[in-house]
Amino acid sequence: MTEKLQVKHDGQTPDSPALTFRGFQGETDYPLILSILIESTRADRIVETASLDDIRRWCAPSTRFDPFQNLLFAVVHNPDGEPTVIGFSRFSWYTGRKDTRLYFQTSYLLPGWRGRGFWPAMVQQTERRLREIADSHTFNPRCFFQAWATETQEVWISVLEGEGYQVVRHFNNMLHRLSDIPDRALPAGLQIHPVRAEHKRAIWEAQREVHHELFETVSENWTEERFEAWLANPSHTPHLWQVAWDGDQVAGMVLNRIDEAENRARKRKRGYTEHIFVRRPWRRRGLAGTLLARSLRLLKHQGMEEAELGVDSENDSGAHDFYLRMGYQTFSTDLWLRKPMDMNPGPA
Ligand SMILES: CC(C)(COP(=O)(O)OP(=O)(O)OC[C@H]1O[C@@H](n2cnc3c(N)ncnc32)[C@H](O)[C@@H]1OP(=O)(O)O)[C@@H](O)C(=O)NCCC(=O)NCCS
């Protein structure tokens, strides 16, 4: 299906071609998506790039994503009528914490087509689609449009701000160089032992319990039906997990991960210290510090040279400053932008 839209936006030159939209046409679109993504992220000084496999995974159908429904390609036509895809948007929705429903979009536009009103038009068209999805939902709590940006995506950020989005959170991506790892003792009465299959249910339940406290959570991922999918998650490396127990109760965890393929492709030795959670009764006794120090030592022992984590800089538990004190340093910042959904959707 092709939808035609006359772009009416400041900054567009009078001779700009009309913008139309088309949907996903199947696997043949993968190389196109990849090339737009690469050119777009390069223009935004984003170092990490994607592969065709990443695109295949990104476009795979899942519970709330169907590539034939949730991808929009922006197309212009040259004077002979020849179509050129200049960008695309990917969109879907989820429920965050406190019954906040987020209708989100990510969008990429080739650098040569920026600043001419096309990107705002793409955002508006995607918002129309998101409104249709929201209208089909029987229960709508507090609804927001949401988008993300890395701080170097200056044009994308200004487009979103021009459309009424506001930055609501900053997420810092941090690295530890695995030197000067602090020494911390395990609080009395707690044990850490290797994770076995029969421990996983308790670990999942503890993770689910703490997840609801986070600013960024996807409630749909923590329903009972999702447990099997969590168990089968191919990125899990339980031999690296550090889980502290108080008898048969999980007290806290750091779920460490090494992605060998990614390290090979990016020519680096990086591990991830992720899912750093301590359940409320065991907090403020030094447990997170101990689990993290052990994790850093473990990753170093595995031959890694650095450890990454991501944190909401306004985390309610003071986690951001704690990571700084542990020796992590921020290497990039992502922005969360939102706009209440009841705002004027813009001209059609
Ligand atoms: C963040 C969290 C893991 C800390 O666990 P913890 O076992 O209580 O932490 P520790 O006792 O080891 O203390 C860690 C540091 O945080 C500080 N801290 C702990 N709770 C804090 C709070 N509510 N506010 C401010 N600082 C706090 C401590 O002073 C300590 O600093 P120090 O080691 O430099 O002295 C825990 O609060 C938690 O699970 N929070 C919810 C989930 C979450 O936000 N996880 C982080 C996701 S990135």
Under the banding of pLDDT at 50, 70 and 90, the label for residue 345 is: low
CA distances from 297 to 55, 222, 278, 294, 307 (A): 34, 30, 19, 5, 10
Closest CA to 317 of 241, 215, 218, 245: 215
- pLDDT at residue 173 greater than cutoff 90: yes
CA distances from 222 to 33, 225, 312 (A): 30, 8, 20
Q: What is the pLDDT of residue 2?
A: 44
* Same structural domain, 216 and 310: yes
Q: What is the pLDDT of residue 265?
A: 87
78 lies in a domain?
yes
127 lies in a domain?
yes
Which domain, by its residues, includes 41? 2-96+107-138
Q: 136 CB contacts (<8 Å, ≥6 apart)?
A: none
Under the banding of pLDDT at 50, 70 and 90, the label for residue 344 is: low
Segment 134-157 mean pLDDT? 92
Ligand 1 neighbour 20 (Cβ under 6 A): no
335 lies in a domain?
no
Q: What is the pLDDT of residue 299?
A: 98
* Same structural domain, 188 and 299: yes
- CATH assignment of the domain containing 89: 3.40.630
* Same structural domain, 238 and 125: no
* Same structural domain, 320 and 234: yes
Q: What is the pLDDT of residue 195?
A: 97
312 lies in a domain?
yes
What is the tens place of the pLDDT at every residue in 236-264?
999 999 999 999 999 999 999 999 998 99
130 lies in a domain?
yes
* Same structural domain, 22 and 120: yes
Ligand 1 neighbour 277 (Cβ under 6 A): yes
291 lies in a domain?
yes
Number of domains the chain contains: 2
* Same structural domain, 222 and 121: no
Ligand 1 neighbour 288 (Cβ under 6 A): yes
* Same structural domain, 196 and 272: yes
* Same structural domain, 315 and 230: yes
* Same structural domain, 119 and 211: no
How many Å lie between the centroid of ligand 1 and the Cα of residue 312?
13
Summary mean pLDDT of the chain:
92
* Same structural domain, 21 and 115: yes
| Nearest CA, atom 46, ligand 1 | 276
* Same structural domain, 218 and 121: no
- In ligand 1, the atom with minimum distance to the C-alpha of 290 is 12
* Same structural domain, 132 and 194: no
132 lies in a domain?
yes
Give the C-alpha separation, 105 to 126, whole Å: 7
118 lies in a domain?
yes
- CATH assignment of the domain containing 186: 3.40.630.30
- Please report, as a single letter, which amino acid is at residue 155: V
- pLDDT at residue 83 greater than cutoff 90: yes
| Nearest CA, atom 30, ligand 1 | 322
Ligand 1 neighbour 284 (Cβ under 6 A): yes
Angle at 145 between CA 140 and CA 149, to 5 degrees: 145
What is the tens place of the pLDDT at every residue in 37-79?
999 999 999 877 788 998 999 999 988 999 999 999 999 998 8
What is the tens place of the pLDDT at every residue in 316-329?
899 999 999 999 99
CA distances from 43 to 22, 85, 180, 317 (A): 24, 17, 36, 36
Closest CA to 84 of 26, 155, 36: 36
